[in-house]
Amino acid sequence: AQRVTQPEKLLSVFKGAPVELKCNYSYSGSPELFWYVQYSRQRLQLLLRHISRESIKGFTADLNKGETSFHLKKPFAQEEDSAMYYCALSVGYSTLTFGKGTMLLVSP
Amino acid sequence: DTEVTQTPKHLVMGMTNKKSLKCEQHMGHRAMYWYKQKAKKPPELMFVYSYEKLSINESVPSRFSPECPNSSLLNLHLHALQPEDSALYLCASSHPRVAGTSTDTQYFGPGTRLTVL
């Protein structure tokens, strides 16, 4: 069965510092990877997906099949980036398997 | 309309009550989902409907009964719940995946906060 691992429950950085939220997955085939974000008191929403290869709100993520990773990066964190970030994997049907999430706290 | 709406926002019920959660979307999505999210945990898939037919049931207890009356609506009927069923129940929708294409983005509702006493 597929699995998504986010090793950090909490990541705390200062404003302007680089951020990397780690995500590793286990699946032998070709998965689709996503990052979803949940801001305080807001609904869960898509941040980005690996097939789009785009930058959203300054965040990027590259799928590394050799390392089975899909780490989320931003060169300069902002206070408004503070949120819960979930890495998710889709295999076959449209269902999503979520990692346990990483809470990002950006301090001024 | 690009939102998924859910009602009610909050629900408190006793273990003998019968209640229903409602979800609605008008984005033309033909796949709809129910997730359960406990505090500080990721969403856990419960049910998937595709073209108004139940396609996935993740071994959910029968006290949860989903219903998809039409392509825009999704209900979750609750009966004889247990206190451990207290959680945030999320609805989501997307275009169903077609063979040879990528997975569509799922759009989530704000959730219904359920408390079972």
pLDDT for the residue B40: 86
Is residue A54 helix, strand or coil? coil
**Which residue has tokens 């964190």?**
A77
User: What number of residues does chain A have?
Assistant: 108
The answer to whether the Cβ–Cβ distance between A44 and B102 falls below 8 Å is no
pLDDT for the residue A60: 94
The answer to whether the Cβ–Cβ distance between A98 and B42 falls below 8 Å is yes
pLDDT tens for chain B, 117 residues: list them: 679 999 999 999 988 889 999 999 999 999 999 999 999 899 999 999 999 999 888 889 999 999 999 999 999 999 999 999 999 999 999 988 776 677 778 999 999 999 999
**Please, what sign has the CA dihedral across residues A16, A22, A23, A28?**
positive
Residue A45 · residue A54 · CB < 8 Å: no
Chain B residues touching residue A32 (CB < 8 angstroms): 102-103
Residues of chain A with pLDDT under 70: 92-94
pLDDT for the residue B57: 87
What are the distances in angstroms from CA B98 to CA A8, A15, B2, B49, B85?
34, 42, 21, 14, 33
Q: What is the number of CB-based contacts under 8 A between chain A and chain B?
A: 51
pLDDT for the residue B100: 67
pLDDT for the residue B104: 79
